Amino acid sequence: MAVLVFGGMGHVGSWIAHDLAAEAEEVVIFDLGARGLAGRGLDYLEPHQDRLTFEDVDVLDTHTLFERMRAYEGRIDAVVFGVAVIAGPTFRLRPFRNVQVNTIGMLNVLEVCRILGVPKFVNLSSGAIYGTAPGGQTEETPAIASDLYGATKVANETLAAQYGATYDIDVRQARLYFVYGPGKLPSTMHVLYQAMFGPLQGMRNVAAPAGGDQALDWTHVRDTAQGVMRLLRAPAEVARGQAFNISSGVLVPHREIVAAVTDIVGSDSGMTLGDGNFFERGAPLDVTKARTSLGFSPRFSDIRDGLNDYHGWLKSVAKAG
């Protein structure tokens, strides 16, 4: 039996694939350009590659998607859907394409799950469904999207829930939030991420136009993957049809992150954050439900521990300054 991880070459998806393979699960990674690990920098997957299969599939290519999923018919324990164009200032530059990838892509996968009788579907959603609601959002906080990315996540949760109810699929929703850590180079991310985490890679003199007055609950990627794994493994009576906030649950000012990174690298890298908010989001998410129902306990709730771990990974792959 196998777990299909859509977006399994991405930041969160690759760590979910890692954790599954480390538990001796057969993992099939569906991702655009997924042809193996060579040149991808995902060193943590290499010890488990004998349990990984790669399917180079675009979720908008419905014919290829169906054909490649059908190859595993009768062997699929669950699908984890994590394909997404992430939130950020560039999302609005290609709105139709980005909305298609996020929402129509998930709908395509859900439809194949319905046809093939896949029993369980875990949707990687986002705290963006709460829009700008003040921090402390619980799973009962109304979903009110405040941007196009958030709108795709609200739509996805609604569609996934209705597919589950209509076609007897065990649908579970993980509401993830701001993720950092091993598997993602700061240089490949948006300018705020670069200004906060970039010195761990040796970057210097990055100026983010805003974000200096903001505090968010940044979550280490290993904690994010742990939360998704616990949701995936939870008994149906606990998790079926349910949504769970998966984040650190700890509010950290952005300028505090800059200061902590400066301490870790031992020098000022010339990073600056402009005033105001970079993301219009409330934080932190309330993770009480995940703690009590899933046993979720973030290992890196202290941001400094997470930053040290991130720096260690960057040094191990020779990407640190």
| Residues 174, 275 share a domain | no
The Cα 251–Cα 13 span in angstroms is 24
Helix/strand/coil for 158: helix
| Residues 121, 191 share a domain | no
Q: What is the CATH number of the domain that holds 147?
A: 3.40.50.720
| Residues 136, 60 share a domain | yes
320 has a pLDDT exceeding 80 = no
| Residues 111, 196 share a domain | no
DSSP state string for 178-211: -EESTT--GGGS-HHHHHHHGGGGT----EESS-
98 has a pLDDT exceeding 90 = yes
List residues bridging with 80 in a β-sheet.
5, 122
| Residues 263, 115 share a domain | no
C-alpha distance from residue 187 to each of 18, 191, 198, 200, 306 (Å)? 23, 9, 7, 10, 18
Give the domain range for residue 198.
182-216+249-281+302-316
Counted domains in the chain? 2
The H or E element spanning position 21 is helix 11-22
Per-residue confidence (pLDDT) for residue 321, from 0 to 100: 63
38 has a pLDDT exceeding 90 = no
Half-sphere exposure of 127 (CA within 13 A, CB side): 30
Find out whether the peptide bond into 284 is cis, omega within 30 degrees of 0: yes
% of residues, the chain, pLDDT over 90 = 93
The Cα 248–Cα 85 span in angstroms is 22
Per-residue confidence (pLDDT) for residue 270, from 0 to 100: 97
Q: How many helices (H) and strands (E) does the chain have?
A: 11, 13
| Residues 237, 103 share a domain | yes
Q: Which residues contact 233 (CB under 8 A, 6 or more apart)?
A: none
Distance of CA 129 to the CA centre of its chain: 14
pLDDT digits (tens, 9 = 90+) for 119-169: 999 999 999 999 999 999 999 999 999 999 999 999 999 999 999 999 999
Q: Which residues contact 292 (CB under 8 A, 6 or more apart)?
A: none
43 has a pLDDT exceeding 70 = yes
| Residues 8, 44 share a domain | yes
Q: Is residue 287 part of a domain?
A: no
| Residues 25, 168 share a domain | yes
Q: What is the CATH number of the domain that holds 259?
A: 3.90.25
| Residues 19, 37 share a domain | yes
Q: Is residue 163 part of a domain?
A: yes
Q: Is residue 294 part of a domain?
A: no
Q: Is residue 296 part of a domain?
A: no
- The vertex-110 CA angle with 24 and 121, nearest 5°, equals 40
The H or E element spanning position 309 is helix 303-316
**Cut 0.95: pTM above it:** yes
| Residues 187, 66 share a domain | no
Residue whose structure tokens are 């290829």: 64
pLDDT digits (tens, 9 = 90+) for 240-251: 999 999 999 999
Handedness of CA 72, 17, 194, 87 (dihedral sign): positive
| Residues 124, 20 share a domain | yes
Nearest residue to 167 (alpha-carbon basis) of 224, 118, 131, 209: 118
What value does the mean pLDDT take over residues 227-232? 98
| Residues 17, 70 share a domain | yes
Q: Is residue 321 part of a domain?
A: no
Q: Is residue 56 part of a domain?
A: yes
The Cα 38–Cα 124 span in angstroms is 26
Q: Is residue 291 part of a domain?
A: no
Residue whose structure tokens are 């139709």: 96
Q: Is residue 265 part of a domain?
A: yes
